[in-house]
Amino acid sequence: SLRQTQLYHMTFRCVVLKRRGPELNNPDYMPDIKTISGLSSLIATRSSVAQLLSLFDEFVADCGAVASYAFAFAYGEYEEPALLPPIHCTFPESILNFYNENACMAVDPIARGALASSVPVTYNQFKKEYNEIPVMKDFLQQMADHGIPDGISMKVLTRPGRILYVSMGFPYSTDKISDYEFRRIRSAVEMFARHGASLPDNPIDQHIIKPLSAKELEVIAHVAKGFSNKEIARTMDLSVS
């Protein structure tokens, strides 16, 4: 009957409102950074990279970490990472300088492990590999001297061919971190990375996309004029490959 149909829709609406969370039932509701849904709501309100990184630092601290590092690169550029500055880093400056000056990224077993894994990896997982590389052994000791004996690293894809490598340093062993917390951290980092890539002032492409050379710009100008490959080659005195 019509009355039964009306009652059904009213009941369904009440259930949906209840399940969609307290934000719809309470005008004073404040998203909780500890939950994925709450963090997602907070991330969505950030309209600049500065605002997003400020929230990311809050998230890192809430996880119990004391420092973080984010580095972006494209496929094929991993061998020369020292040429690109990190997008964000709160590790002590002396540690960052040591890491960059010794081109540690190119031999860092944790970085390589994270890039080959679909889940976060821990520093302690690669302690044996670290001890076999003198510069990395020194680096790990410096970390411990600064009260960062362990940490986690992971990769996330912001778009095809674009990778964000993120590392978080902890003042205690990551053995204390549950599998659920590892998954929560990874999900959160993915949300931060993807929202950051969508912002107009995002630094990811600025870091990994090299500016075009004068010759490349000249080729583009000729293409825009409708020149064929042979015409461009003849104009610029190039060979057609």
Q: Tens digit of pLDDT for each residue in 159-209?
A: 666 788 899 999 999 998 999 999 999 999 999 988 888 888 776 655 544
State the pLDDT confidence band at 233, using cuts at 50, 70 and 90: confident
120: closest CA among 154, 150, 70, 170? 154
**What dihedral do alpha carbons 166, 167, 173, 174 form, nearest 10°?**
10
Element (H, E) at 175: none
Q: What is the pLDDT of residues 78-129, one digit of tens each?
A: 445 444 568 899 999 999 899 888 878 778 889 888 888 888 999 999 989 8
Using CA atoms, how far residue 40 sits from 31, 98, 150, 195, 201, in Å, is: 9, 35, 27, 10, 20
Q: What percent of the chain has pLDDT over 70?
A: 69
| Helix pair 49-62, 179-198: axis angle to 10 deg | 170
Checking if the pLDDT of 234 tops 90, the result is no
pLDDT of residue 189: 94
Q: What percent of the chain has pLDDT over 90?
A: 37
Task: Report the C-alpha gap between 167 and 111 in whole angstroms.
Answer: 9
pTM above 0.95, yes or no: no
Q: Looking up tokens 């039964």, which residue turns up?
A: 4
pLDDT of residue 115: 83
State the pLDDT confidence band at 23, using cuts at 50, 70 and 90: very low
120: closest CA among 86, 161, 155? 155
Asked if 200 contacts 177 with a C-beta cutoff of 8 angstroms, the reply is: no
Q: What is the mean pLDDT of the chain?
A: 78
